[in-house]
Amino acid sequence: MSKVLVLKSSILAGYSQSGQLADHLVSEWKAAHPGDEVTERDLAANPIPVLDGELVGALRPSDAALTPRQQEALDLSNELIAELQAHDTIVITAPMYNFNIPTQLKNYFDLVARAGVTFRYTEQGPEGLIKGKKVVVLSSRGGIHKDTPSDLLTPYLTLFLGFLGMSDVQFVFAEGIGYGPEVAAKAASDAKEVISQIVTA
C-alpha cells in the first residue's frame, strides 16, 4: 500500500484550477490504486503561521524555554514533518501568484525546513534528509510562463524540494487560464491527460 499526501495552497477554494486538478488526481488515483491511503491538507483553509522573530527560535536547537506560541509552532512543525516523511507520493498545488508560489505554501515550507531534521550541512555541502519521495507539482497560471524567464516558480520549487532531498519531481502545468474559457478548458484538459499518465505509470 502506498500513501499519498496532497497539499493544497490556493486561496480560491472550490474555484481553484490547481485545486480542481488535485481533486481529479485524487479521484484517478483512488480508482487506479484502491488500496492506497490519501491524506489531504488545505494550507489555505487551515493556514500555517507566518515565521517571525519569535517562532524562528522554536525551530532551532536551544535549551531556552519556549513560549506557548513557540511550543505550538514546534509541535505543528513536528507534525508536518512526520506527515511528510510518512507518505510516498507528495502532490503539491502551486498556482502562480505574482510570479511565485502562494504565501500559504511558503509558510508551510518555512516550518518543514529545519536544519538537522529535514536537511543537514556536511563537508560536501547541504544534504536533504527527506528521501525516496515522488513529488507531483500541479501549477496553474493565468498567463503563459513555462520555459520563460518569468517562470520563477519552477526553478524555486525544484531547488527547495531538492534541498530537502526530494529530487524526483514532476510538474504538471495548466497555463493561460486568464486568456478566456476556451484556453482555460484546453489547459485543464491537457493537464488531466498528464495526470492520468502519472497515476497509471
141 is in an annotated binding site: yes
98 is in an annotated binding site: yes
**Rounded to an integer, what distance in angstroms lies between the CA atom of residue 195 and that of residue 188?**
10
166 is in an annotated binding site: no
Query: Alpha helices of the chain — where are they, by DSSP H?
Result: 17-32, 68-86, 103-112, 153-163, 181-200
Cell numbers at residue 19, please?
485545486
2 is in an annotated binding site: no
9 is in an annotated binding site: no
46 is in an annotated binding site: no
Residues 6+ apart with CB under 8 A from 65: none
**Rounded to an integer, what distance in angstroms lies between the CA atom of residue 184 and that of residue 175?**
7
97 is in an annotated binding site: yes
143 is in an annotated binding site: yes
In 3-state terms, what secondary structure has residue 39? Answer: strand
140 is in an annotated binding site: yes
189 is in an annotated binding site: no
Residues 6+ apart with CB under 8 A from 34: none
List binding-site positions for FMN: 10, 16-18, 96-99, 140-143
List binding-site positions: 10, 16-18, 96-99, 140-143
